[in-house]
Structure 1
């Protein structure tokens, strides 16, 4: 007897492998805390490795920015949304999560490098957090998924005020990272919807 593998569900709202999702996102969250602990204990001035806009020496900060935070308060404010949103983005599987996160990471980092204030140093995982948030908010529109739209409404009700962070305000806050992270999330949601339609056509 032969069986046909189940088609992927583009309207999923929870990871197909919750244990794997929890381990991956939990490990990354723990890594953020360990890096901040090292930075404080040495002190290592790791924050200086963040993005320095339009400086070649700060270009590699695109890689390091999400791992670095300007103190415990900064890290604590990012921890819960990082863990929750990162877990929910895993609904499309580990491979899709990596592609979505990479798109947001790159878009946020390049946007900060191009538009940030000269001489400033940008650190923090909030660009990825904003990207994940926008990905989760708009994916249901692209996928025409009622379940995903319900999740989006719940996220808006709980964390909707964070979206004001894409606007210029406190000079100590990288609104550029938030804005370009959010744009990266929308781009990632569109790319996922295109990929899902192509899979559906081939099926």
Structure 2
């Protein structure tokens, strides 16, 4: 069972970002990193919007499956609560694909994804630090702070929000793989 959870954790960001990058290629005639939002490529009525939307849903489901395993092996209540909140953030990522741009819930589920995923990773990282993993604690704080600073900067300097969104997404992905490597390493030595 552990292997399927780890495989899901490995694949989740690859599937999600793969779909987004495929959508960028498909929509390269009009989509611009500094002028648009990532969600523009999944909007209602756009030909091939399913490429991005389906990949977000699948990536989120894989991530939630991985998170169920991570929750079971968490070492304290703060870590567990953080992973649960992070998984809720992934549920909002599913909602982004289900309620694409052009539907009334889209704006809210997009913000909910970034806010809950950020809060979840911060809480889980703090919980891991309390449990003795200082590397994860310091890395979590650095990733969280740097991502929010850069995203706010990007939001002020570019017309579109895609740069800020990508900063947030890459921060989440970096944190995810950092935690996965530490967990897999701890499992291997146990």
Higher RCO (CA-CA < 8 Å; seq separation 6+): 1
TM normalised by structure 1 equals 0.38
TM normalised by structure 2 equals 0.40
Larger Rg, first or second structure (1 or 2) = 1
